[in-house]
Amino acid sequence: MVSLNITIEDGKNRKHKAMVELDADKFEKLAGVFGLFNTDFLKSLARAEKDIKAGRITKLR
């Protein structure tokens, strides 16, 4: 199992820490819940890669 340490800071300078452990099956299930295997999402990733390679990006400040 792989563990991931996450620290979240709120506006009051307090830190909340959590550790998440996922095996491959649980990670795949979580990715499916978030729609990361959706064909529309995968197509949008391909379009984004083309835009980045073509230089059609705007940096946010």
pLDDT tens figures, 1-16? 778 888 888 877 788 8
User: What letter does residue 13 receive in the DSSP assignment?
Assistant: S
Burial class (CB in 10 A: 0-12, 13-18, 19+), 44: exposed
Predicted pLDDT of residue 47: 95
**For residues 20, 21, 23 and 29, what is the CA-based torsion angle, rounded to 10 degrees?**
-30
Average pLDDT over residues 30-57: 92
Domains held by the chain: number: 1
Q: CA geometry: angle at 46 spanning 44 and 50, to 5°?
A: 115
Q: Is the pTM of this model over 0.85?
A: no
Identify whether 30 is part of a domain: yes
Identify whether 7 is part of a domain: yes
User: Which range marks the domain in which residue 32 is found?
Assistant: 2-54
Predicted pLDDT of residue 48: 93
Share the mean pLDDT of the chain: 88
